[in-house]
Amino acid sequence: MKKIPWQEKEEFGFSFPFRCWDSALPEFIFPSHWHEYYELVIVLDGKVQANIDGNAWEALQGDIVAINPGQLHGYPYSEKGTHLRFFQFEMGIFSKDAGIVAGEALFSRKPVLRGCGYPERDASDKALHTRACGLLTDMFNEYREQKKGYRLAVKSDLYQLALVYLRNGSPEHESLPNLFLSSMKDQASFVTEQRMERVYQLIFKNFDNIELDLEEAARTAALSPSYFAHLFKKQTGRSFYDYLSTIRVSHALEFLLKTDLPVSLIAYKCGFDSLPTFHRVFKAETGCTPAAYRKKVKESNDGGCSETGC
């Protein structure tokens, strides 16, 4: 399906263009978009569908998904309970000469590096996967703990990851399997995609607006509310309000993780019209209350419990 891509433009730190985090949503869904940095995604638990440049890939537990700068990609489906870990970085984190080699090495192969769920992997894939998982785990721990010298440690791991891909990877792309009955090319028309893209941008820019509703989204798409509701659910698998709630909860998770703001203020900043509504939607999405999630994260960071679950 021909796309007018939505460009994600979240800024990195100027001197250290790297970040990583765990998705806390039990059903991770993200519309088609693109960005000018590299992305690696590890499936820690569950299963996710990744649409990359018009091809559908199924990524299972242990698989590593690699996204190039400028690649159109999205995650339209995941199993309930799927746990993903994201790594994003710009080539500027490498030295000038090394960056060219590293970029070619990291993403010269097929987009999904298979984990242990695929016993038919060849020896090269097994060696690459084992080493890549170890380096990514080190990076995640260094970035989360931020001990003295953590930036140097992360850069070192990235260099090693590029070297491992360069020496173990194959530059030949295997044929891209269509894992789902309906491919992206069989979906809505180009004009409809343009309309829906405007809706996605409306949601991501105005999720904090309490008055944002289906009627406004339908006007943005220049469609009737009833037809828009049908089309939106067909494309995303969720109703407009369910999808909007997921986006709002994802921002609430960030506030709970990175700030000490009261839960009531976070609810307001994320577009919820009342605290009870926020509690109900948050628990439906994550399986726990906002306060329980914040406590769980704090205990996890203090070494008192595991990273997963609420």
Q: For 236-271, how does the pLDDT look when each residue is reduced to its tens digit (9 = 90+)?
A: 888 999 999 989 998 998 899 888 899 999 999 999
- Please enumerate in sequence order all residues whose Cβ is within 8 A of that of 263, keeping only pairs 6 or more positions apart, or say none: 256, 275, 278, 290, 291, 294
pTM of the model: 0.59
Instruction: Judge whether residue 308 has pLDDT over 80.
Output: no
Q: Are 85 and 41 in contact, with CB atoms under 8 Å apart?
A: yes
Encode pLDDT of 9-31 as tens digits.
Answer: 555 655 789 999 998 777 788 88
Contacts of 89 (CB under 8 A, 6+ apart): 12, 17, 18, 19, 37, 38, 158
pLDDT > 90: what percent of the chain?
Answer: 35
pLDDT per position as a tens digit, 26-59: 778 888 777 778 899 999 999 999 988 778 889 9
Query: What gap in Å lies between CA 91 and CA 22, rounded to an integer?
Result: 22
Q: How confident is the model at residue 290 (pLDDT cuts 50, 70, 90)?
A: very high
Distance of CA 274 to the CA centre of its chain: 28
pLDDT score, position 174: 42
Per the listing, tokens 């080699």 go with: 101
Tokens of 282: 């948050």
- The rounded distance, in Å, linking the Cα atoms of 90 and 223 is 38
Residue 84 binned pLDDT confidence (cut-offs 50, 70, 90): very high
CATH topology of domain 18-168: Jelly Rolls (2.60.120)
Share of the chain above pLDDT 70, in %: 78
Q: Which residue has the tokens 């339908």?
A: 218
The ranges of the chain annotated as CATH 1.10.10.60 are 188-301
**pLDDT higher than 60, residue 183:** no
Chain centroid to Cα 265, Å, comes to 26
Report the C-alpha dihedral over residues 151, 43, 129, 137, rounded to 10 degrees.
30
For the chain, residues classed under CATH 2.60.120.280 are 18-168
Return mean pLDDT, the chain.
80
Angle (nearest 5°) at CA 42 between 78 and 132: 160
Question: Which of 9-13, 137-141, 153-157, 276-280 is predicted least confidently?
Answer: 9-13
Out of 3.20.20.80, 1.10.357.10, 3.40.50.300, 1.10.10.60, select the CATH number for domain 188-301.
1.10.10.60
